[in-house]
Amino acid sequence: MVELMVVIFVIGLAATFIVLSAPPSKPHLEKDTEAIVSLLNRAADEALVSGVAYGAVISDDGVRIVRADNGVWLPVPGAEARVSRDTALAEFETEAPSPVGTPPLWFDPAGMAQKGRIELSDRRSTVSILVSDNGGVSVLQESADVR
């Protein structure tokens, strides 16, 4: 009986090491990038369909979507993407400053947008999310360290 318990313990211990040493299913940076790109594409689409300008407010912990309502930018409920602790919003820049009172990144109903770049990074790589002046959102993998 003791031998059987020892065998089960050793098998459990080996299984634990295997599970703990396995790589994560998808890196946090990739998940965070996909969430932000999806959110920005949704804002661009909503602006075209609704005829109302949408914007993106970028902060250290993620991106939040707002929409214009009679000259006031209001948050869109549930429209935010928070980045994980392993991902940093390293940099955000636009080609030209937004008008006062306007979110730094915006999509208008005519399909135009504020051209900009959001840079995300983790310990191994850096990704840039690019927004073109026609509202297109794309991803550029800038660097990745190979282990």
pLDDT digits (tens, 9 = 90+) for 64-85: 999 999 989 999 999 999 999 8
pLDDT exceeds 60 at position 144? no
Q: Give the pLDDT confidence score for residue 33 in this predicted structure.
A: 94
Q: Give the pLDDT confidence score for residue 39 in this predicted structure.
A: 96
User: How many Å is the maximal CA-CA distance in the chain?
Assistant: 77
What is the DSSP-derived secondary structure letter of residue 113? B
Label residue 42 exposed, middle or buried (CB < 10 Å: 0-12, 13-18, 19+).
Answer: middle
Comparing CA positions, the residue from 9, 36, 12 lying closest to residue 139 is 36
pLDDT category at 90 given cuts 50, 70, 90 is confident
pLDDT category at 26 given cuts 50, 70, 90 is low
C-alpha 81: how far from chain center? 6
Which pTM value belongs to this model? 0.77
Comparing CA positions, the residue from 101, 130, 99, 133 lying closest to residue 117 is 130
